[in-house]
Each structure stands twice: as structure tokens, then as C-alpha cells.
């Protein structure tokens, strides 16, 4: 059987979470691998959340915010835009493939886009296989 990755999604309340809801109200189907966590603004997403998610066994983390210029808090998403690349570079040093952490802009009218992103990410992670963090942890568990 194929490997089914687990994805944790951090969505901003105003654009992306509404977009995800719209996918639902429009009955646009996508992969069930994602678990969404709502935050008020993508700027709230502390890098440690991503790390924690990976540490707890997520195979990928999706971060979604309003399109640049649309932020409900005027500029929060710009902070995220600067923060994420740094985090990715750091994770890369720990051997975590950069596809595992993804930053996307999804507006409240882009239900379809959200669905496509989830499907695409799921597909890529299937190819990529389980997260090395998970493997490592599993390994540790095995030794004990």
C-alpha cells in the first residue's frame, strides 16, 4: 500500500481558512491527508510550530496566508514571507527536504486553489516518503 503522508496546515483566519471553507461549501474534493490549524494571522505562526509539527510526526507543513497586500492586519503576511525562507534554510541544514514546508497565498475566493495545493503537496510527499524526523524518532524508539 502507498505511503499516506500527514500534513499539518496553518491557515490564517481571514483569507485562507475562509478559502478552505469555500472549498467545502463548493464541494471541491481533495486529499484527506491535511489537518488544518487555524491562527488569526499567518504572522502568528511561530517557526517552533512548524518544528513541533515535524517533530510530532508530520510529513509536511503547509502555511497559508492572505495574498500580499490583502492582509487583514495590513502587513502580517509580509513578515511570514520573510520568516519562512529562513526557517526552510535552517531545516535544510537538519536534512529536512524543503518540499516538506510550503508557503502559499490563498484568498477567501480560492477554494479550488486550496484544494489543488493540498492535492499537489500530498502527491509530492508521497513520492518523498516519510519525514526523516519521524524515521529518526522511530529509530530511537526502536533502540530503547
Partner 1 sequence: MRIGVYICRVGVETGDGANLEAVGHYMANLPLVESVRSLGLLPRIDPEAMADEIAADELDRIVIAGDSPGFFKPAFTRAMSLAGREPDEVRLASFREHGVSGDGATERAKAIAACAVYGVPFTLAARPMDTKWNPATLVIGGGIAGIQAALEIADGGKRVYLVERTGTIGGHMAMFDKTFPTLDCAACILTPKMVAVGQHPMIELLSYSEVESISGVAGAYRATVLRHARRVKEDACVACGICSDVCPVKVPSEFDAGIADRKAIYIPFPQAVPNAYIVDEASCTFVQTNGQKCGACAKKCPKECIDLDARGEVLQLEVGSVIVATGYEVLDASRLERYGYGVQPNVLTALEFERLTNASGPTGGRIVTKSLRHNKRKKVDEWVLDPEGESPKSVAIIHCVGSRDANYNAYCSRVCCMYSLKFAHLVKEKLPDAACYEFYIDMRAFGKGYEAFFERIQDEGTFIVRGRSATVTDHAGQMVIKGEDILSDSVVEFPVDMVLLAVGLVPAERSDELARMLGVPRDEYGWFTEADYNGDPTGTERGGVYVAGVCQGPKDIPDTVAQASAVAARALEGAMTGRGLQSLASLSLSDIEARAKNLVPAS
Partner 2 sequence: MAEPRTGVFICNCGTNIAKMVDCDAVAEAASSMPGVAVSRSYKYMCSNPGQEMIAQDIADHGLERVVVAACSPRMHEPTFRRAAETAGLNPYLVEMANIREQCSWVHDDAVAATEKAEDLVRAAVLRVAHHEPLERLTVDMCPNTLVIGGGIAGTTAALELADAGELVYLVERQPGLGGNVGRVDLTAPYLDSARDMLTDRITRVVEHPDVDVMVNSELKRLDGFVGNFKATIAVHGPDGAEEERQVDVGSVIVCTGYREFDAARATHFGYGKLPNVVTSFEFERMLRAGRIETKEGGLPQYVAVVHCVGSRSEEFNGYCSRVCCMTALKYAHEVKSALPASYVSDVYVDMHAFGKGCEDFYRRSAEVKTLFLMYGKGEHPVVRRADPGDDCEMLITVDEQLSGETIELPADLIILMVGMEPREDAESVAHLVNISQDKDGWFIESHPKLDPVATTTDGVYIAGACQAPKDIPDSVAQARAAAGRILGKISKGKLEIDAMFAEVDEDRCSGCRVCNEICPYSAIEFDAAERRSHVISALCKACGACVATCPSAAIKARHFTDAQIFAEIAGVLG
Cβ contact 21:112 at 8 Å: no
**Nearer CB in complex with partner 1: 104/110:** 110
Q: Which of 43, 117, 121, 133 binds partner 2 (CB under 8 A)?
A: 43
Q: Which of 62, 106, 115, 125 binds partner 2 (CB under 8 A)?
A: 115
Place of cell 467545502: 24
What is the rounded distance in angstroms from the CA atom of residue 6 to the CA atom of residue 86?
A: 23
Q: Which of 112, 124, 126, 128 binds partner 1 (CB under 8 A)?
A: 112
Strand order in the sheet with 34-39: 34-39, 7-12, 60-65, 101-105
Is residue 112 part of the contact set for partner 2 (CB under 8 A)?
no
Q: What are the C-alpha distances in Å from 21 to residues 15, 70, 108? A: 10, 18, 8
Is residue 21 part of the contact set for partner 2 (CB under 8 A)?
yes
What is the rounded distance in angstroms from the CA atom of residue 109 to the CA atom of residue 16?
A: 9
Number of residues that bind partner 2 (CB under 8 A): 43
Is residue 41 part of the contact set for partner 2 (CB under 8 A)?
yes
Label residue 19 exposed, middle or buried (CB < 10 Å: 0-12, 13-18, 19+). Answer: buried
Residue ranges binding partner 2 (CB under 8 A): 4, 6, 8, 17-18, 20-21, 23-25, 27-30, 32-33, 35-41, 43-49, 52-53, 56-58, 72-76, 79, 83, 115
Residue ranges binding partner 1 (CB under 8 A): 14-15, 18, 22, 25-27, 66-67, 69-70, 72, 107-113
Amino acid at each position: 500500500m502507498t505511503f499516506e503522508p500527514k500534513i499539518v496546515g496553518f491557515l490564517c483566519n481571514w483569507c485562507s481558512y475562509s478559502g478552505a471553507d469555500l472549498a467545502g461549501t463548493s464541494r471541491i474534493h481533495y486529499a484527506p491527508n491535511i489537518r488544518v490549524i487555524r491562527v488569526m494571522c499567518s504572522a502568528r505562526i511561530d517557526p517552533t510550530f512548524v518544528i513541533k509539527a515535524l517533530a510530532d510526526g508530520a510529513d509536511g507543513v503547509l502555511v497559508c496566508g492572505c495574498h500580499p497586500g490583502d492582509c487583514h492586519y495590513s502587513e502580517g503576511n509580509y513578515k511570514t514571507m520573510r520568516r519562512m525562507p529562513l526557517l526552510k534554510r535552517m531545516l535544510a541544514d537538519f536534512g529536512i527536504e524543503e518540499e516538506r514546508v510550503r508557503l502559499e497565498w490563498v484568498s477567501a475566493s480560492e477554494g479550488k486553489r486550496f484544494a489543488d495545493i493540498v492535492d499537489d503537496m500530498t502527491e509530492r510527499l508521497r513520492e518523498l516518503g516519510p519525514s526523516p524526523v519521524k524515521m529518526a524518532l522511530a529509530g530511537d524508539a526502536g533502540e530503547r
